[in-house]
Chains A and B, each alone.
Chain A
Amino acid sequence: MTKIKDLLVALLVLALGRKRKPRAEHEDRIVEQGSPARGAENAVLALFFLATLASAAFIVVFAWDKLGSQTQWLGLCIGLAFILLAAACVVIAHKLVVTEELVHEYPDTEHPDEQLKIEQIVDESGSRFTRKRLVTLAGMGALGTLGLAALTPAASLGPVLDTEELYKTPWRRGRRLVGEDGKPLAAHEIERETFYTAYPEGADRELMGSPVVLVRLDSGEVVAYSKVCTHAGCAIALYRKPTFADVEPKPALVCPCHYSTFDPADHGKVLFGPAGRALPQLPLFVDRRGHLRAAGNFSAPVGPSWSGVRQGPATT
Chain B
Amino acid sequence: MIRGLVKYVDTRSGGAPFIRKALRYVFPDHWSFLLGEAALYCFVLLVATGIYLTFFFDDSRSTTVYHGTYKPLDGQTMSRAYESVVHLSWDVKAGLLMRQTHHWAANVFVALIVLHLLRVFFTGAFRKPRDSTYLLGIGMLAIALIEGYAGYSLADDLLSGMGLAIGYSVAMSIPVVGAYLAQLIWDGPFPGTAAFWPRLYIAHVLIFPILIGLLLGLHLLLVASRHHTQFKQSEKETERNVVGVPTFPGQTPRSLGLMLAVFGIVFLLGGLVQINPIWLWGPYHVGWGTNGAEPDWYLGWLIGALGVVPAFDVTIGHYTLVPNPFWGGALFPLVVLGTLAIWPWAERKVTGDHAFHNLLERPRDNPLRTALGLAIVTWVFLIFMSGSADRVTVLFGLDYTQQIWAYRVLVWVIPLLVFFVTRRVCRELLAGEVAEEIRHEAEAAPVD
* Chain B residue contacts of A259, Cβ below 8 A: 307, 390, 400, 404
What is the CA–CA distance of A207 and B99 in the complex, to the nearest angstrom? 30
Whether the pair A308, B286 counts as a contact (CB closer than 8 A) is no
| Least distance between A81 CB and chain B CB atoms (Å) | 7
* Chain A residue contacts of B169, Cβ below 8 A: 231-233, 303-304
| Least distance between A183 CB and chain B CB atoms (Å) | 16
Decide if B333 is an interface residue (CB 8 Å cutoff). no
Decide if A270 is an interface residue (CB 8 Å cutoff). yes
Identify which of residues 69-110 in chain A touch chain B, using a CB-to-CB cut-off of 8 Å.
70-76, 78-90, 92-93, 97-107, 109
Given contacts A106-B242, A235-B288, A274-B311, contact A75 B165 (CB under 8 A): no
Whether the pair A76, B271 counts as a contact (CB closer than 8 A) is yes
Whether the pair B188, A233 counts as a contact (CB closer than 8 A) is no
Whether the pair B325, A231 counts as a contact (CB closer than 8 A) is yes
Decide if B10 is an interface residue (CB 8 Å cutoff). no
What is the CA–CA distance of A114 and B328 in the complex, to the nearest angstrom? 48
Given contacts A97-B250, A106-B240, A231-B324, contact A238 B263 (CB under 8 A): no
Name B171's closest neighbour in chain A (CB-CB).
A306
Whether the pair A243, B400 counts as a contact (CB closer than 8 A) is yes
Decide if B206 is an interface residue (CB 8 Å cutoff). no
What is the CA–CA distance of A37 and B384 in the complex, to the nearest angstrom? 51
Pick the interface stretch among B132-140, B174-182, B344-352.
Answer: B174-182
Decide if A275 is an interface residue (CB 8 Å cutoff). yes
Identify which of residues 251-310 in chain B touch chain A, using a CB-to-CB cut-off of 8 Å.
253-254, 256-261, 263-265, 267-272, 285-293, 303, 306-310
| Least distance between A6 CB and chain B CB atoms (Å) | 23
Whether the pair B129, A72 counts as a contact (CB closer than 8 A) is no
* Chain A residue contacts of B189, Cβ below 8 A: 165-166, 207-208, 303
Decide if B418 is an interface residue (CB 8 Å cutoff). no
Decide if B24 is an interface residue (CB 8 Å cutoff). yes
Whether the pair B320, A306 counts as a contact (CB closer than 8 A) is yes
Name A244's closest neighbour in chain B (CB-CB).
B400
Whether the pair A208, B270 counts as a contact (CB closer than 8 A) is no
What is the CA–CA distance of A199 and B286 in the complex, to the nearest angstrom? 11
Name B324's closest neighbour in chain A (CB-CB).
A276
One digit per residue, 1 when the CB lies within 8 angstroms of any chain A CB and 0 when it does not, for chain B 317-356 equals: 0111111111011000000000000000000000000001
What is the CA–CA distance of A312 and B320 in the complex, to the nearest angstrom? 12
Whether the pair B176, A307 counts as a contact (CB closer than 8 A) is yes
Pick the interface stretch among A13-21, A130-138, A155-163, A184-192.
Answer: A155-163
* Chain A residue contacts of B241, Cβ below 8 A: 103-106
Whether the pair B168, A304 counts as a contact (CB closer than 8 A) is yes
Whether the pair B256, A165 counts as a contact (CB closer than 8 A) is no
Whether the pair A106, B227 counts as a contact (CB closer than 8 A) is yes
* Chain B residue contacts of A309, Cβ below 8 A: 179, 319-320, 323
Decide if B166 is an interface residue (CB 8 Å cutoff). yes
| Least distance between A2 CB and chain B CB atoms (Å) | 29
| Known interface pairs A75-B97, A105-B242, A276-B320; 9 further A-B residue pairs with C-beta atoms within 8 A, sorted by A's residue number | A75-B100, A93-B253, A101-B244, A106-B242, A161-B180, A233-B168, A259-B390, A274-B311, A304-B323
* Chain B residue contacts of A244, Cβ below 8 A: 399-401
Decide if A297 is an interface residue (CB 8 Å cutoff). no
Decide if A310 is an interface residue (CB 8 Å cutoff). yes
Total of A-B residue pairs, C-beta within 8 Å: 321
- Size class of the B contact interface (CB-based, 8 Å): 35 or more
What is the CA–CA distance of A75 and B264 in the complex, to the nearest angstrom? 9
Whether the pair B285, A257 counts as a contact (CB closer than 8 A) is no
What is the CA–CA distance of A306 and B312 in the complex, to the nearest angstrom? 13
Whether the pair A78, B179 counts as a contact (CB closer than 8 A) is no
Whether the pair B263, A82 counts as a contact (CB closer than 8 A) is yes
Given contacts A83-B264, A232-B325, A275-B324, contact A308 B245 (CB under 8 A): no
What is the CA–CA distance of A227 and B287 in the complex, to the nearest angstrom? 6
- List chain B positions with a Cβ less than 8 A from chain A: 24, 26, 93-94, 96-97, 100-101, 129, 162, 165-166, 168-170, 172-180, 182-191, 195, 199, 225-227, 236, 239-246, 249-250, 253-254, 256-261, 263-265, 267-272, 285-293, 303, 306-313, 318-326, 328-329, 356, 358, 390, 393-394, 397, 399-401, 404
What is the CA–CA distance of A151 and B260 in the complex, to the nearest angstrom? 43
Whether the pair A206, B286 counts as a contact (CB closer than 8 A) is yes
**Would you mind naming 30 contact pairs between A and B with Cβ atoms under 8 Å apart?**
A31-B249, A70-B94, A71-B100, A71-B271, A72-B272, A74-B271, A79-B271, A85-B260, A85-B264, A86-B260, A86-B263, A93-B257, A97-B253, A102-B24, A158-B186, A159-B183, A165-B189, A205-B285, A206-B191, A208-B190, A234-B166, A235-B286, A257-B166, A259-B307, A259-B404, A303-B169, A303-B190, A305-B324, A307-B172, A308-B179
Whether the pair A104, B188 counts as a contact (CB closer than 8 A) is no
User: How many residues on A have C-beta within 8 angstroms of the other chain's C-beta atoms?
Assistant: 95
Whether the pair B253, A89 counts as a contact (CB closer than 8 A) is yes
Whether the pair B256, A76 counts as a contact (CB closer than 8 A) is no
Question: Interface on chain A toward B: helix, strand, loop, or mixed SS?
Answer: loop
- List chain A positions with a Cβ less than 8 A from chain B: 30-31, 62, 70-76, 78-90, 92-93, 97-107, 109, 154-155, 157-163, 165-166, 197, 199, 205-208, 210-211, 227-228, 231-238, 242-245, 247-248, 255-260, 270, 272-277, 303-312
Name A109's closest neighbour in chain B (CB-CB).
B356
Name B193's closest neighbour in chain A (CB-CB).
A158
* Chain B residue contacts of A227, Cβ below 8 A: 287
In the complex, which of the residues B259, B307, B312 has the most CB atoms of chain A within 10 Å of its own CB atom? Answer: B307
| Least distance between B386 CB and chain A CB atoms (Å) | 10
* Chain A residue contacts of B176, Cβ below 8 A: 307-308
**Residue in B174, B184, B260, B293 whose beta carbon sits within 8 Å of that of A157 in the complex:** B184
Whether the pair A82, B242 counts as a contact (CB closer than 8 A) is no
What is the CA–CA distance of A302 and B328 in the complex, to the nearest angstrom? 21
Whether the pair A100, B246 counts as a contact (CB closer than 8 A) is yes
